[in-house]
Amino acid sequence: MGSNSYGLWTLVKREIIRSLKIINQVIWPPIITTLLYVFIFGLALGSRISSVQGVTYSQFLIPGLIMLQVIDSSYGECSSSLFQGRFMNSIQELLIAPMSAFEIVAGYILGSLARALLIAGLITGLGVVLVHIAPHDWTMYFCVIALVSIWFSALGLIFGL
């Protein structure tokens, strides 16, 4: 059985375009939320907590905020996309397309992974600018974000059904 790489790429591209079309709903809120967390908890509360082994509270906070937004965006992307397709009865076109179940699932997950990587990159940029912290091992950074995103995207698909 051959694979339908055009169908898979089209589904991934559709999910990326869908995320970019509603950028005010899916990209900016995580960034604004992270800024609020950094300013409220990092600066207000962090000034009262001494650094531990040279790590300030704000520097401790940023990796957790990155993972928070990666988990939220990954889960939300897959579950809402699949649920909306079912709700608006557009899922039938996808189901009759010459794509295997694996390709459909991979398309949703890869689209969600792209959104999670975009959000993680933006928040990491905020961390570099505001808190002066960057990942020490970029390979590990991308691997962990990819694995967490894939895991929660798969959970989002399951619960979106």
Instruction: For residue 64, count CB atoms less than 10 angstroms from its CB and return exposed for 0-12, middle for 13-18, buried for 19 or more.
Output: exposed
Q: What are phi and psi of 55, to 5 degrees?
A: -110, 120
Give dist(CA 41, CA 153) in Å, integer: 28
pLDDT, one tens digit per residue, over 39-60 is 888 777 777 777 778 888 878 8
More confident: 96 or 114: 114
What is the tens place of the pLDDT at every residue in 13-27? 988 888 888 888 888
Helices (H), 38-135: 57-87, 91-96, 101-126
Q: Cα separation of 137 and 156, whole Å?
A: 28
